[in-house]
Structure 1
Amino acid sequence: MASKWWRWQQKSAPYMFISPFFILFSVFLFYPFLYSFYLSLVEWNGGKTKTYVGLDNFSRVLHDEVFWLSIGNGLIIMVMYVPLLLLLATLVAVLLNSNWVKGKGFFRMSLFTPNIMAVVAVAFVFSIMLNGDNGLINVILKQLGLIDASILWLDSPFWARLSVAAMVFYRWLGYNMILILAGLQNIPKDIYESAYVDGATPFQVLIRITLPLLKKILVFCVILSTLGSFGLFTEPLVLTKGGPLNSTTTPVLLIYQESFTNLNFGYASAIAIMFFFLMMIFTFVQMRVTRDND
Structure 2
Amino acid sequence: MTALLTEQGRDVTRRGPAAPRPSRRGRFARRRERPGLWFALPAAALLAIFFAYPLAVSLLQSFFSTSGGTTTFVGFAQYARLFADPLVGQSLLNAGLILVVQVPLMIGLAVGLAYLLNQAWLRFKGGFRLMTFLPAITTLVAYAVVFRVMLATDGGAINQLLGLLGAAPVDWLNNEWWARVALIGAITWRWTGYNMVIILAGLQAIPAELYEAARIDGAGRWQTFRHIVVPQLRPVLIFTTVTSTIGALQLFDENFVLTGGGPNNATLTPVLYLYKVGFQQFDSGYASAIAWMLVALTAVISFVQFRLMREKS
Give TM-score scaled by structure 2 length: 0.86
CA distance in 1, matches of 2:251, 2:144: 12
Which residue does the alignment assign to 2:132?
Answer: 111
Question: Are positions 1:189 and 2:208 aligned together?
Answer: yes
Partner AA of 1:89 in structure 2:
A
Q: Are 2:234 and 2:310, in contact at CA under 8 Å, matched by a contact in 1?
A: no
Gaps of 5+ in 1: none
Paired residue for 1:221? 240
* 1:170 aligns to 2:189 (yes or no): yes
1:16-95 to 2 correspondence within 5 Å?
Answer: 16-44=38-66, 49-95=70-116
CA distance in structure 2 between the partners assigned to 1:20 and 1:199 by the alignment: 58
Instruction: Tell me the SS of whatever aligns to 1:293.
Output: coil
Task: State the identity %.
Answer: 40
Counterpart-to-counterpart distance in 2, 1:10 and 1:220: 35
Q: Structure 2: where are the runs of 5+ without partners? A: 1-23
- Secondary structure in structure 2 of the residue aligned to 1:270: helix
Say which SS state the counterpart of residue 190 (structure 2) adopts.
helix
**Alignment length (residue pairs):** 288
Q: What is the aligned partner in structure 2 of residue 133 from structure 1?
A: 154
The separation in 2 between residues aligned to 1:44 and 1:193, in whole angstroms, is: 67
What SS does the aligned partner of 1:50 have? strand
- Whether the 8 Å contact between 2:115 and 2:200 is mirrored in structure 1 is yes
Distance in 2, Cα, partners of 1:61 & 1:184: 43
State the TM-score, normalizing by the size of structure 1: 0.92
Bigger relative CO (Cα 8 Å, ≥ 6 apart): 1
Verify: 1:200 aligned to 2:222, yes or no: no
Q: CA deviation at 1:80?
A: 2.5
1:36 maps to amino acid: S
Is the Cα contact below 8 Å between 1:115 and 1:174 reproduced in 2? yes
The correspondence of residues 187-266 of structure 1 with structure 2, limited to 5 A, is 187-266=206-285
Q: Which has the larger radius of gyration?
A: 2
Q: Judge conservation of contact 1:80–1:162 (CA < 8 Å) in 2.
A: no
Q: Which residue of 1 aligns with 2:17?
A: none
Of 118, 131, 148, 1:97 maps to 118
- The 2-side partners of 1:91 and 1:39 are apart by 46
Q: Deviations over 1:51-97 (max 9, x none)?
A: 22222211111211101211111111122222221111111101111
Q: Which moved more, 1:284-293 or 1:263-272?
A: 284-293
Separation of aligned partners in 1, 2:71 and 2:125? 58
